[in-house]
Amino acid sequence: MVGILVMTVTYIYHSCYLVEFDGFSILFDYYRDAPGGERSEWVRDYLLNREGDLYLLCSHSHYDHFNPEILTWREKKKDIHYIFSKELLESGVSRVGDALYLEKEGGYRDRHLRIKAFGSTDAGGSFLVEHKQRQIFHAGDLNNWHWNEEVSTAEALSYENHFLCELELLAEESSHLYLAMFPVDPRLGREFMRGAEQFVARIKTDLFLPMHFGEDYDKVNRFEKIAALYDCQFLPLSHPRQSFRFGGTGVDDRG
């Protein structure tokens, strides 16, 4: 029987989300704090002073998903765990000993959570995280990057097929996600929501949070109606550092 899972999820910026549970926190793909200053220190100061384990997960080495500053945080916090895609090591942005590196389908497990790495349609990978028999997924740059208004039909189909293959591998592992954080990028053109729809159509997803959309909040929030067709609750965003609390009473948007 699955018990009540209480967690708080905060959208930081771009593809970065903070997920907090009782006793530990997970920060995905941090590269900068909310707009208003590249040197903003809210995320760092909050997490380094929050009690409990801190897991820093990074899907790949692109500058907008990885900030090497996080490697210095271990100097101020002991119970910190770095879990990176092996692509960061291979690309040279981090070194042996900086993190635990996961190859595709590699895993990690401890007293709090279980993590399994999956593929991407860009660099690096994606992460499936399980806690108290609930699964959450951070896609990294996994998406249907079809670019079908910019490339030939054949090329667009090859990109889509790559995505569908990666999606099928994930679906074989998980048929039901409690929460998914997934790119919904308007730069793809008229069909920018195509990959997100394919995702929720293939894998039952209770809660969906968008990422990788820049400042296009209005555009990305259009996915709410599509998600509802698949019995998926889309959580609309309006600003960085917007938080949602999930628990026995449903979803509480904390602003």
**What DSSP assignment string belongs to 132-190?**
TTEEEEE-TT-S----TTTS-HHHHHHHHHHHHHHHHHHHHH-SEEEEEEEE--GGG-T
- Tell whether pTM > 0.85: yes
Q: Is residue 233 part of a domain?
A: yes
Q: Is residue 141 part of a domain?
A: yes
What number of residues does the chain have? 255
Yes or no: say if 49 and 76 are a contact pair by the CB < 8 Å rule. no
Query: Where in the sequence is the domain holding 92, given as residue range(s)?
Result: 7-249
CA distance 100 to 66: 15
pLDDT tens for each residue of the chain, 255 residues long: 455 678 999 999 999 999 999 999 999 999 988 765 545 678 888 999 999 999 999 999 999 999 999 999 999 999 999 999 999 999 999 999 999 999 999 999 999 999 999 999 999 999 999 999 999 999 999 999 999 999 999 999 999 999 999 999 999 999 999 999 999 999 999 999 999 999 999 999 999 999 999 899 999 999 999 999 999 999 999 999 999 998 755 666 666
Structure token pair of residue 162 = 């790559």
> Into how many domains does the chain fold?
1
Q: Is residue 84 part of a domain?
A: yes
Q: Is residue 218 part of a domain?
A: yes
CATH of the domain at 148: 3.60.15.10
Q: Is residue 99 part of a domain?
A: yes
Q: Is residue 2 part of a domain?
A: no
Q: Is residue 1 part of a domain?
A: no
Q: Is residue 255 part of a domain?
A: no
